[in-house]
A and B are shown apart, each in its own frame.
Chain A
Amino acid sequence: MSDHQDLKNPRPAVSRRGFVQGAGAVTGAVALMEEEAQAQAAGKVMGPAAMAITLTVNGKPLKVTVEPRETLLDTLRHKLEHTGAKRVCDRGTCGACTVIVNNKVSYACTMLAVDAVGKKIQTIESLTANGKTHPIVPAFHNNDAQQCGYCTPGFVMAAKGFLDRNPNPTYEQVKDGLGGNLCRCGTYVGVRQAVLEAAKKLKA
């Protein structure tokens, strides 16, 4: 049930998913490291077999084995226990999978994991890490900015990426800046107010 964990403890010590993945992970680790060094040399054809790559997620290098066809979103969710980003449309339209890649908001469902190698990936798990909570998180609570909550992590990351680039936004700018995220419950007004509140808190 790791989809519904407490945000403050995004990585439980043991989960069913983690246990299943852990089995067999040790075997061949050395061989995979060698393969990884080769795979990242420019111009070389990799795959279609699974290969070892390293993704830099929230500042930490994480080793993972992926096939070329795996998206960053599926890799984060199914193999790296970062289930904050959600898989909804899976076609780069709804924004529920939004993460920040090299300081730019991006759809994790529409990026291959192999394409994310060497890039800085920031997920929603980072917003409550190390006992520090980013002001956008309480601002969502204070402004009733979610109903069913499924789009919320994507909106929060889109808002975070927007505020990083626009510290003094107007309501209209917030509306445009969150144009890549959809909410079927229609919480847009609350979300925009939350972003304005967080902008004030960040300046204080």
Chain B
Amino acid sequence: MQNFEYANPGTVAEATGLLGATWSDAAILAGGTDLLSLMKDYRMSPKRVVNIKSIKGLDKVAKAGGMLSVGAAVTIDDLMEHPAVRSEYPSLMQAAHGITSPQIRNMGTLGGDLCQRPRCWYFRNGYGLLGMQNGKSLIDAGENRYHAIFPQGAAKFVSASSFAPALIALGAKLKIAGKSGNREADLASFFVAPKSEAEREIALQPGEIVTEILIPSAGGSKNATYEVRHKDALDWPLATASVVVKMNGSSVASAKIVMGHVGPTPVSADKAAAWLAGKSITAEAAEAAGKAAVEGAMPLSQNAYKVQLAKVAVKRALMMAAGLSV
């Protein structure tokens, strides 16, 4: 790891003041569970590291105006202990349980989960986010079993966040602080597919900090997350689906389905969700919605199996939301 300056600001304004105009000027440290590995591997070598854990309020979870406000530096463990999360958002609890290491849950933060870099082994080994060499995709030609089944252009890595699918399905927004003021962004538009190595996978600019995650009340709707992983021990999922279903009696009034780890951004399955409207959730309906959700998938040479996993993840998430056993 290259050495760096270190700062421990106490306010958001101090923190943004310490960030720079480019990514190599400064990096934001929260839990450090991704940043330290990136720095040890020289994927990131910032001149300065700005620890945001001492900023007052960034570690708070609070109900505010019908929303649940979660500070970006709230740890996964603290999130799981919050009564509102436990009672209202099974979807978030299930996503949190998928992070099977207590150490990571104790150190890692919700903001960090959203801003972590992709796990793509071409990226982690220094070939860039797109893995292009001499105009050709190393991902297409090489090992791609864990890559996207919904690639977007040259972006074939998968978004690494455990919580993004659940939060997007719930309609979450982010509060982002910058040098010239604050802005709010829909989480759905925060994840982007980079077109060149100059771009990142999230719509955060150098000099900005995600400060808060605002989650609308689940208000009577049902939500669930189902993850497919390789093993019980700590690993990123192979495919995830998160659903939010508003019921009208025994039939679906409206639904939102978001799949994770299948594309460079979380993938919303809007057609499948629309198809569910007016139907009651049975194993057959959930299966059909799963099938519709993976329509148009474009698997690479080694990952067609992920189409089946994503389909089953959608089916099981819907069944869990409906209270059926899976």
Binding site for B on A (CB under 8 A): 40, 42-48, 67-69, 71, 90-93, 95, 98, 104-107, 109-112, 114-115, 158, 161-162, 175-180, 182
Chain A residues near B8 (CB, 8 Å)? 40, 42-44, 46, 114
With A69-B39, A112-B29, A180-B234 as contacts: A158 and B7 at CB distance below 8 Å:
no
CA distance A156 to B32 in the complex (A): 23
Q: Which of A45, A90, A92, A109 contacts B7 (CB 8 A)?
A: A45
With A90-B40, A92-B36 as contacts: A44 and B7 at CB distance below 8 Å:
yes
Q: Which of B14, B40, B48 contacts A91 (CB 8 A)?
A: B40
A sample of 17 more A-B contacts (CB under 8 A), given A112-B36, A162-B102, is A42-B8, A43-B7, A43-B9, A43-B10, A43-B18, A45-B5, A47-B6, A69-B1, A92-B103, A92-B107, A93-B234, A106-B103, A110-B32, A112-B6, A112-B29, A175-B232, A176-B100
Q: Which of A42, A67, A69, A107 contacts B103 (CB 8 A)?
A: A107
- Interface digits, B84-111 against A, CB 8 Å rule (1 contact, 0 not)? 0000000000000000111110110000
Could you tell me if A45 and B6 are in contact, using CB atoms closer than 8 angstroms?
Answer: yes
Could you tell me if A110 and B54 are in contact, using CB atoms closer than 8 angstroms?
Answer: no
B2 at the interface (CB under 8 A from A): yes
Question: 26 pairs across A/B with beta carbons < 8 Å?
Answer: A40-B8, A42-B14, A42-B54, A44-B7, A46-B5, A47-B3, A67-B3, A68-B5, A69-B3, A69-B39, A92-B37, A105-B106, A106-B103, A107-B107, A111-B32, A111-B36, A114-B6, A115-B29, A115-B51, A115-B53, A161-B102, A162-B102, A179-B101, A179-B102, A179-B234, A180-B100
Could you tell me if B29 and A182 are in contact, using CB atoms closer than 8 angstroms?
Answer: no
CA distance A46 to B51 in the complex (A): 12
Chain B residues near A175 (CB, 8 Å)? 232
CA distance A176 to B7 in the complex (A): 35
Could you tell me if B7 and A98 are in contact, using CB atoms closer than 8 angstroms?
Answer: no
Q: Which of B7, B53, B77, B106 contacts A46 (CB 8 A)?
A: B7
- Among A115, A176, A177, A182, the most chain B Cβ lie within 10 Å of the Cβ of A115
Residue ID in chain A nearest B105 by CB atoms: A180
Could you tell me if A71 and B36 are in contact, using CB atoms closer than 8 angstroms?
Answer: yes
CA distance A105 to B76 in the complex (A): 13
In B1-53, which residues have CB < 8 Å from any A CB?
A: 1-11, 14, 18, 29, 32-33, 36-37, 39-40, 48-49, 51, 53
B326 at the interface (CB under 8 A from A): no
Residue ID in chain B nearest A40 by CB atoms: B8
Q: Which of B4, B39, B233 contacts A48 (CB 8 A)?
A: B4
**4 A-B pairs closest in CB distance:** A180-B101, A68-B6, A179-B100, A104-B106
Chain B residues near A114 (CB, 8 Å)? 6, 8
CA distance A47 to B54 in the complex (A): 18
